[in-house]
Amino acid sequence: MSEPMNIFSNQSLNLEKIKAIGYDMDYTLIHYHTHLWEQLAYDTLLEYIHNHYTPTPNLTFDPTAVIRGLILDIELGNILKVCQFGQVNTAYHGHTPLSSAEIDELYGKETVHLAKERYVFLNTLFSLSTGCLFSQLIDANDRQQLKQTYTYYALYAMLKQATVYTHLESKLKNTIMQNPEKYIDQNPLTIEALKEQKACGKKLFLVTNSNWQYTDAIMSHTFNQSCDHKNWQSLFDLIICNAQKPRFFSSDQDAFMVDTATQMLKPCLKISHEHKIYHGTNAHLVEEFLKTSGKEILYVGDHMYTDINVSKRVFGWRTCLIIRELESEIQALNDYQTTIQELITMRRQRNQLTQQINRMMLDADLHQMPLLNIQSLNESVHTLSEIIVKYEEKVNQINNKKWGLHMKVGLQKSHLARQIERYADLYAAGVYAFHYTSPNCFFDNISRPMPHEINFWPL
Ligand SMILES: [Mg+2]
């Protein structure tokens, strides 16, 4: 199956017109074994909460408890899967599923909007561990297994504070630096893709929030063997660490040169060709250095907000989202394509039959027309509906028994899918996917038709 290797486009994009390509590092150029990383994060957070806030019952990490793209409702203690229109489709209170009636009562008049304080989008570095532990703490709180009864806001605040107070990210990164083979999950084609882009005259630059020590250790481990002079830095025209995205894009934060021998920082007013490695800086200075701007720059990252949304919104850079889950998502679609097709066909049949029945009833009322076959038609709708419910259950459990596919809510697009469509010009499962296309490829996107155009607008 070749699809996971593809780059998918939401908007037309001619790579020939791209002069510079910027890369995020963590989960973009460097992939980690997510479950190992999240297990470490979970253990660290749980230990801190247990020691500093409240004793907790015996809890263990469940990597399938949540998926990327879900939304926490920290007011009511619910975990939500939301469709593209902001309506809640699936909800769990802790680990207890909410019925359709309960969802309707709580969210029937509510459009879930991420600007509201009560909603937290699971799109951070520690989404799986945080989401899993939050749902477990909700259950423990409701069963009065904690030191006191907390509000759900307080439980979430506890988790957030634990993330900061444990210096979680640096703790994990120290563990990874000591044993990179165990945690890094690398595709050898990533470096091929970078070399091809460079050979085609693209300027390459790295913008990572990680510090220099970690960046150098991990990039050296992963890429040095395949680089000129056995040095990964030869791949890039510019390397920026501690970028503090999104501030890198949204402010004029100061620039510092990194002295790699002493780890000392030296303030500077601009980025120069005499020095390659910087700390902080901002996107204005990068554009000045690259002598290009806006649509001639492509930025590739895995974080919907700090990499994709803000770079496009503030600077008009073209964007490519790396979404690792795409590999298993496409595999699952392949495995279940017959089921999905059959469900769509049955839903269409039921819709046609229902319309036919409604028309007949109306004609009988208004024009005293006979109700021929009405009973058999009603039976067909009833039978179809029973089968459809079973199929829908199956489709809603593809890839994850609780949450189903990342990009779908039933047969609709999920909130995550809508965000990808809106902010990412391109998306792919990994940077390696660029190896399967030319660095000057033209992604000619012909947008999907509106419902009224379907008969006239072939796909
Ligand atoms: Mg990243």
395 C-alpha to ligand 1 centroid (Å): 30
Cα 247 to its chain centre, rounded Å, is: 20
Distance 322 CA to ligand 1 centre (A): 9
Query: In which band, very low, low, confident or very high, does the pLDDT at 1 lie, cut at 50, 70 and 90?
Result: very low
As a whole number, mean pLDDT of residues 187-202 equals: 96
* 395-419 confidence digits (pLDDT tens): 999 999 999 999 999 999 999 999 9
pLDDT for res 119: 97
Q: Which domains does the chain have, with CATH numbers?
A: 1-30+186-336+398-459 (3.40.50.1000), 34-178 (no CATH)
Report CA(290)–ligand 1 centroid distance (Å).
Answer: 22
Phi, psi of 387 (to 5 degrees): -70, -40
302 CA to centre of ligand 1 in angstroms: 5
Residue 416 φ/ψ, nearest 5 degrees: -60, -45
Q: How many Cα atoms sit within 13 Å of 312 on the Cβ side? A: 21
280: left (phi over 0), alpha (psi -120 to 50) or beta: left
Average pLDDT over residues 372-380: 91
Percent of the chain with pLDDT over 90: 87
**How remote is the CA of residue 374 from the centroid of ligand 1, in Å?**
59
Token duo for residue 378: 């009603």
Of the given ranges (180-184, 296-300, 337-341, 453-457), which has the lowest mean pLDDT?
A: 453-457
Distance 301 CA to ligand 1 centre (A): 6
What is the spatial distance between Cα 443 and Cα 11, in angstroms, rounded to a whole number? 8
CA of residue 416 to ligand 1 center, whole Å: 17
Does the pLDDT of residue 430 top 90, yes or no? Answer: yes
Residues written for the chain: 459
Q: What percent of the chain is modeled with pLDDT above 70?
A: 99
Alpha carbon of 91 to ligand 1 centroid (Å): 28
Alpha carbons 237 and 80: distance in angstroms, whole number: 43
C-alpha 303 to ligand 1 mean position (Å): 6
CB 76 within 8 A of CB 155: no
Which tens digits make up the pLDDT trace of 42-67? 999 999 999 999 999 999 999 999 99
CA of residue 27 to ligand 1 center, whole Å? 5
Would you state the pLDDT for residue 370?
Answer: 84
Tokens of residue 279, six digits: 């700390």
When pLDDT is averaged across residues 417-425 and rounded to a whole number, the result is 95
Prediction pTM value: 0.92
* Distance of CA 364 from the midpoint of ligand 1 (Å): 63
How many angstroms does the Cα of residue 208 sit away from the middle of ligand 1? 7
Does 211 score more than 50 pLDDT? yes
Centre of ligand 1 to C-alpha 314, Å, is: 19
Q: What mean pLDDT is predicted for residues 111-127? A: 90
pLDDT of residue 89: 94
Q: Is the pLDDT of residue 3 over 60?
A: no
Cα–ligand 1 centroid distance for 188 (angstroms): 19
How far is the C-alpha of 218 from the C-alpha of 32, rounded, in Å? 11
Using the mean position of ligand 1's atoms as its centre, give its distance from the Cα of residue 459 in Å. Answer: 34
Cα 56 to ligand 1 centroid, rounded to whole Å: 31
Give 69 Cα–ligand 1 centroid separation in angstroms. Answer: 15
Q: How far is the CA of 217 from the centre of ligand 1 (A)?
A: 16
Ligand 1 centroid to Cα of residue 211, in Å, is 13
Ligand 1 centre distance from Cα of residue 375 (Å)? 59
Rounded-to-integer distance, Cα 129 and Cα 42, Å: 5
**CA–centroid distance, residue 312 to ligand 1 (Å):** 16
Predicted pLDDT of residue 459: 67
pLDDT at 4: 57
pLDDT at 2 over 60: no
Q: How far is the CA of 33 from the centre of ligand 1 (A)?
A: 14
Across 246-269, average pLDDT:
95
User: Which pLDDT score is estimated for 433?
Assistant: 96
Q: How far is the CA of 447 from the centre of ligand 1 (A)?
A: 29
User: Which segment of 4-8, 34-38, 71-75, 288-292 scores lowest on mean pLDDT?
Assistant: 4-8
Pairing of strands 318-322, 297-301: parallel
Distance 28 CA to ligand 1 centre (A): 6
Q: Can you read off the two tokens belonging to residue 424?
A: 């990412």
326-335 and 337-367 helices, crossing angle to 10°: 60
CA of 124 to the centre of ligand 1 (A): 9
